[in-house]
Amino acid sequence: MSQSRYFLDFSYLGDAYHGWQRQPNVTSVQQVIEEALFTTTRKETLVFGAGRTDTGVHAKQMIAHFDAELDIKKEKQLVYQLNSYLPRDIAVKHLFKVNNDAHARFDATERSYEYHLCTEKDPFEAYRHYHIKSIPDIELMNQAAKILFEYEDFECFSKTKTDVKTFLCKIIHAEWTVKDSNYVFKISADRFLRNMVRAIVGTLLEIGLKKQDLNVFRKIIESKNRSEAGLSVPSNGLFLTKITYPKSIYINNE
């Protein structure tokens, strides 16, 4: 049996990990996934994720690709085996056979994130929300969020000293919702810069808490200067929720 390429669809809580990417002397999600694959297949397997998530960030859906000799007809059995070797905070959902040149990062057409915060202390969600004491003005924050659609250069929200070639992103959706004391910011784009969502949320919060004027938001974006935008909110409230790919890269797995 020759090697084929596969997409692994899984989720994880980020509390115990120093982000997705393998790093020396710390535990990463990539490292744990690769170790589980080695235990399952008895072969060293490199895994390439759809993107980086920072320390403490969660993923309701992450996609990674790898090459292996597998019987895809035993997909449920393979998923069961992987989950039996993985810790309880990482769960594999599906395994898909894809074209041999399919790439989890470069073929993604859309990514979605959620940021969760709450205005009441909740011990059961303490590591899944950012707790703030003041109540933000959600209408003001949504007015500012709509301004994001007017721009494509978001250098002001990017982590400094990054190696990207362009700061251009096309934002498709950006909206705040609230239920009781829980606020959720949902955002989708074709790509995201390092730290971009947390910086956007931090800036929108300054507007919602009346620390920054709504009219200044455009000037912040146009400045292309990270120091002009708000502080990045903590990582524990951030979830990668969905990654979209063209249907053409999937192979009939029956």
Return left, alpha or beta for 26; rule: phi > 0 is left, psi -120 to 50 is alpha, else beta: beta
Active-site residue list: 54
Q: Specify burial of residue 133 (Cβ count, 10 A radius: 0-12, 13-18, 19+).
A: exposed
SS3 56: coil
Which run of H or of E encompasses 172?
A: strand 171-179
Say how far residue 69 (Cα) sits from the centre of its chain.
29
Q: Which amino acid is at 211?
A: K
Backbone angles phi, psi at 232, to 5 degrees: -75, 135
Name the nearest CA neighbour of 152 among 164, 165, 170. Answer: 170
What radius of gyration, in Å, describes the C-alpha atoms of the chain?
19
Residue 8: count of CB within 10 angstroms of its CB: 23
